Amino acid sequence: MSFHLVLFLAFGAVCVGGAVNLLAQRHPINSALSLIAVMAALAGEYLLLGAEFVAAVQVIVYAGAIMVLFVFVIMLLNAGEEEETKGSRVAVLLGVPGVLTGSVLIAWVVVRHSGTEAVAIGALPGHPTEIAQLLFHDFLLPFEVTSILILIAIMGAVVLASKPEATARKVD
Amino acid sequence: MSVGVFILVSVIKSLIVLVVLLTAVAYTVWLERKVVGHMQNRWGPTRVGPFGLLQPAADGLKFLFKEDLTPPHVYKPLFLAAPMMALIFALTSIAVIPFGNSITIGGTNIPLQITDLNIGLLLILGVTSLGVYGVALAGWSSNNKYSLLGGLRASAQMVSYEIALGLSLVGVLIQSGSFSLRTIVEAQGGRFWGFIPRWNIFHGQFIGFFIYLMAAYAETNRIPFDLPEAETELVAGYHTEYSAMKFAMFFMAEYANMITVACLATLLFFGGWNGPLFGPPILRALLPVFWFGAKIFCFLFLYIWVRGTLPRFRYDQLMSFGWKFLLPLAIANLVATAIAVAW
């Protein structure tokens, strides 16, 4: 077993373990921290694939920026432990068989297509220069359209958050 | 280089860098007490050793032997993990900082850097963005309103200023065309008209440097932006409930972050280890490391000088300064640099 495979399995185990822990934990802050572990382990998997830039961005954007906001909201709301419920019968009857079927289906597809050759490290674009070439040259229009989409989302969030009339009425 | 030699060299380099970094952290604390003391017409530490030079050792022993209190109302797992996270992330980013050119020992070429990644700068930004968790979780898990307010302030401040910090670096990246810190430094070799060094700060990035400096003060929670631990309103902010070594870990993390920020400023704006070389070969090999250290010392001195000079901002001033002044300025600087390079 190569060192590469060992690392892949280790990061994969952290990833899956973190995801399971995310569901099992009853305190929201522990769940959020598990999600950070999942994101960081995913960054490790990207590194193993030779995608250094994507790995760094994964850490900066997901593990850093977005999850900080999650943690921030949990801290501000001071959300406590959730109460344990018995769970719905529908989930047991439909959910568990559904998950099992889905997993079997995915496993079947993976096994069936395992004959395809593995891609060598560095064979796909991963260097910052190549990604820049793709983003700002080959896919310039979709990239710019995405940025406008995000701008619209930001403006929408600002409009929803400000509500000047509503606040004024509350003061009265 | 064979795998065995590579591992040996890497382990030795990591050990040396870690020891030097921790010593630098200890003596930055000494320097700060001494310089601020003299600025306020006091002597600073004088009792332990000549000029109080053994004071950091005495402080370290004191931290180790003090009673380590864990208040009963805290959320214990995170209360214990938070100082570790703060310190680990503060020490990690030093791994990609280059200290000088490569040296050759016994036919093996050894770059003076733990590892040279082609995403070095991004790694530092990523690790810094994770550093927020140590502070935020310390504030939350202490279960104390002062700590919580300190933690919230720290995370809001760091998230806000990270944007200006990142944008101020993009100008340098556009000029040098690489994320690798080694390449960025090498692009700054040489001189303009034979006497002005070709450092980025003289190469059109003066405003970029100004933005970086302001944002870096806020990122490291230093005066004039040390609102998270403003003692007049928040007792000690996020580390109110911490004592002994756990408190010392936050303290070390803060100073390690200061050093990282100073390293980054030196590498990106002040030509890294570039400087005049002269004398016999052994001196020529060591001078770059000396220049690098001297530049970092200047930055650390500036930090302390600012601490001795400026009062603390109000929180709303801090936020409006970051979002309404630094951020637009950083974007304008970025656009201007892009136009100049494309010309």
Shortest Cα–Cα distance, A60 to chain B (Å):
5
Per residue in A25-43, pLDDT (tens digit) is 888 888 888 998 898 899 8
Mark yes or no for CB contact B133/A59 under 8 Å: no
Distance from CA of B139 to the nearest CA of A (A): 9
In a domain, B21, yes or no: no
Cβ-defined contact of A64 to B156 (cutoff 8 Å): no
Q: Is the pLDDT of residue B318 over 60?
A: yes
ipTM of the complex: 0.77
Nearest chain A residue to B141, by CA:
A75
Residue A60 has pLDDT above 80, yes or no: yes
Q: Does residue A172 register a pLDDT over 60?
A: no
Task: Return the pLDDT at A13.
Answer: 92
Q: Is B46 on the interface with A (CB under 8 A)?
A: no
B162 interaction partners in chain A (CB closer than 8 Å): 65
| pLDDT of A171 over the 70 cut | no
Report the percentage of chain A scoring pLDDT > 90: 14
* pLDDT score, position A123: 66
What radius of gyration do chain B's Cα atoms show?
21
B28 within some domain: no
Structural domain for B298, as ranges: 69-342
Q: How far apart are CA B77 and CA A69, in angstroms?
A: 21
Domain count along chain B: 1
Q: Is the residue at B38 inside a domain?
A: no
What average pLDDT does this structure show over B185-208?
77
pTM (predicted TM-score):
0.83
Per residue in B161-184, pLDDT (tens digit) is 888 888 888 888 888 878 888 888
Shortest distance, CA A38 to any CA of chain B (angstroms): 14
Point out the residue among B129, B137, B179 whose CB comes nearest to the CB of A64: B129
Give tens-digit pLDDT for A75-102: 887 766 667 676 677 777 888 888 889 9
Can you tell me the distance from the alpha carbon of B63 to that of B142, in angstroms, rounded to the nearest whole number?
20
What are the pLDDT digits (tens) for A119-146? 666 666 677 788 888 888 888 999 999 9
Query: Is B55 domain-assigned?
Result: no
Residue ranges covered by each domain of chain A: 1-81, 139-172
Q: B33 in a domain, yes or no? A: no
Using pLDDT thresholds of 50, 70 and 90, give the confidence band for residue A165.
Answer: low
CB contact under 8 A, A75 and B133: no
Is B102 contained in some domain?
yes
Instruction: For residue A96, give the 3-state DSSP assignment.
Output: helix
A–B: how many Cβ contacts below 8 A?
65
B332's CB contacts (< 8 A; 6+ apart) are: none
Among A46, A66, A75, the strongest candidate for a mutation testing the B interface, having the largest count of B CBs within 10 A, is: A75
Question: Which structure tokens are listed for B208?
Answer: 């970029």
- Mean pLDDT score, A148-167: 84
Could you tell me if residue B338 is inside a domain?
yes
- Domain membership of residue B53 (yes or no) is no
Contact across the interface for A59 and B152, Cβ inside 8 Å? no
Report whether CATH 3.40.50.300 matches the domain A1-81: no
